Amino acid sequence: MSLDLASQRIVVTGGAGFLGHAVLERLAARGAASPIVPRRREYDLTHEADAARLYADHRPDVVIHLAAEVGGIGANRANPGRYFFANMAMALHLIEQARIHRLRKFVQVGTICAYPKFAPVPFREEDLWNGYPEETNAPYGVAKKAAMVMLDGYQRQYGLPSAYLLPVNLYGPRDNFDLETSHVIPALIRKCETARREGRPFIECWGTGSASREFLYVDDAAEGIVRAAEAMEEPEPINLGTNMEISIRDLVALIARLVGFHGEIRWDPTKPDGQPRRCLDVTRARERLGWTARVGFEEGLRRTIEWWRSAGERRA
């Protein structure tokens, strides 16, 4: 049965963030009235007492857990301990409180970083446990995957209904464009746009450019998450992606063209490439959720570049 979200009291952790904005828009379209968006200054969810207080204060029926501490390759290398602790602690406390308060539905957003470093391409959910994640983001990926194990145990022992999503690399308006912590697309848009505007002759990029990635527009990801909240009762992992793979070298060239940067692209092979390949099988999302991505990649990049030029740069 589909859960009518309009009749539920919903908490969206991370609702003020990049993905959170898009999820709130999708919930509003479903008629969900004023979801609660806890802020860290009020509830530090890495603390058990704050997670318990969140449930006591707002008595939710549904929790959509988007909040995470995360960054690109550089940030993951600099913060492996913090990223494991923060993401594991938030999930641990929120899921335990969901059991205590007999939550109607817990939705956990995981990460593609949970897949093994050399998972067969395209990634299928059945391969999640067939190897260790890529080393630079393994602490983050393992913490997120542990939340799925916890949800599975809680569903089998306590009957806690839940859903677990594995979105591929997200991008779109309102993304994090900080060069120290951002993911690849916003970092490249900012680099190329700055170089174009300032007339620089080249930009520098990490690695060799040989690694591949798949990217999903944030609005498409949000729709998949909301559909899972409506439809899923067990934490069966579900990939959210496009099944379109692109090398980082080709990605840089595409963004440079769309931005209008015509200078040289210099690669620094002393920096890591990260996981060699990422591309998802999205059959399960189509079968379980009736979901497919709708925004084409170039169109999504154009929207993201336009947002950065019109609003993002003023916030930097």
- pLDDT the model gives residue 10: 98
- The residue type of 312 is G
pLDDT in tens, 96-151: 999 999 999 999 999 999 999 999 999 999 999 999 999 989 999 999 999 999 99
pLDDT more than 90, % of the chain: 89
Average pLDDT of the chain, as a whole number: 95
Cβ(57)–Cβ(32) under 8 Å? no
* Residue 267: pLDDT over 70: yes
* Residue 52: pLDDT over 90: yes
Confidence of residue 1 (pLDDT cuts 50, 70, 90): low
- pLDDT the model gives residue 14: 97
Contacts 24+ apart (CB under 8 A), 71-76: 71/180, 71/181, 71/182, 71/183, 72/181, 72/182, 72/183, 72/184, 72/187, 73/136, 73/137, 73/206, 73/271, 73/272, 73/274, 74/180, 74/181, 74/206, 75/180, 75/181, 76/136, 76/137, 76/139, 76/140
pLDDT in tens, 92-107: 999 999 999 999 999 9
Which domains are assigned to the chain?
A: 5-173+215-243+279-294 (3.40.50.720)
Residues taking part in catalysis: 140
DSSP-based three-state secondary structure for 280:
strand
- pLDDT the model gives residue 107: 98
pLDDT in tens, 20-49: 999 999 999 999 989 999 999 999 999 999
- pLDDT the model gives residue 298: 97
- pLDDT the model gives residue 25: 97
- pLDDT the model gives residue 70: 84
pLDDT more than 70, % of the chain: 98
As a whole number of angstroms, the distance between CA 244 and CA 235 comes to: 25
Mean pLDDT of 182-190: 92
* Residue 273: pLDDT over 90: no
